[in-house]
Amino acid sequence: MFSIRHAVPALLAAALATAPAAAQGSMEIVVNVPAGRLDVIQDGARVRSYPVSVGTAGHATPTRQASIRRMVWNPSWTPPDAAWARDEEPASPGWGNPMGRVKIHLFEDYYVHGTPARNERLLGQPASHGCIRMRNADVMELAQLVLRADGAAVSDETVQRLVDNPRQTRELALAGRVRVRVEYRLAEADAESVTLHPDVYARARGQYQDRVRQDLSTAGADPAAALEHLAAAGVPSAPVRLPRVAAPEITPAPATALAAMPLAGGLR
């Protein structure tokens, strides 16, 4: 019987084999928590976009910056000392591991990591205990892009062995040339309108309200109308498009060679 997981190594290899190496230090990863999305930015242009699950309201994903200095391929998992993990069992490396095929260290106990197929239906909405979850195919692709941009001394053959063998655990040290920004942006603008994302952590009121108003205004939205919509919609709610009332503060980004890289074989 055909299995998607058996096809992933070959599809990843095909997607990355002909791609030019990213210039060292020119790549950045941006996670927008309300959007449930992780973007890869190359020379100022968004060249990849992946759906992710962030933390639920009770386990909010921190908004901060970090440099990627460590990743683990095919990690094992030990339940943390937390109430939600009290009845969980340790997991060996493999497709069913809660960390998935790769975990990329961000800060403290927070990671970008894969997730078993049974959890993929939750991608794009808050579902984790604070980490950033991705499809296994996506996180393996992302990890290889990070390795290239970092200039890590890891051969393509070594990476391919890790892709091919989900039981082989390997920790890799990086130079920290790839930065990560985890943000909370409720509004994102394009040429014609503003997309208003769900206020998953209810920050449009209380201590964050002034910051949210500024972000809405910067995106070209009417802050009063946007906040009224958020208050009426509640949480969770789907993204909505609002008319743009002012020009957003956007600098056009150049196209890059990496933008032309094919995605991994229809696994999105």
**Active-site choice (6, 59, 129, 131):** 131
Q: If residue 142 lies in a helix (H) or strand (E), which one and from where to where? A: helix 136-150
Residues 6, 59, 105, 113: which is the catalytic one? 113
- Other C-beta atoms lying within 10 Å of the C-beta of residue 124: 16
Rounded to whole angstroms, the Cα distance separating 43 from 87 reads 45
Q: What is the residue type of 51?
A: P
| Helical (H) or strand (E) element with 158 | helix 156-164
Q: Is 197 a catalytic residue?
A: no
User: Which single residue is written with the structure tokens 């933008």?
Assistant: 259
Instruction: Say if CB 23 and CB 151 are below 8 A apart.
Output: no
113 given a catalytic annotation: yes
Number of other CB atoms surrounding residue 172 within 10 Å: 21
Work out the widest C-alpha separation in the chain, in whole angstroms: 55
Question: Could you give the residue numbers annotated as active site?
Answer: 113, 131
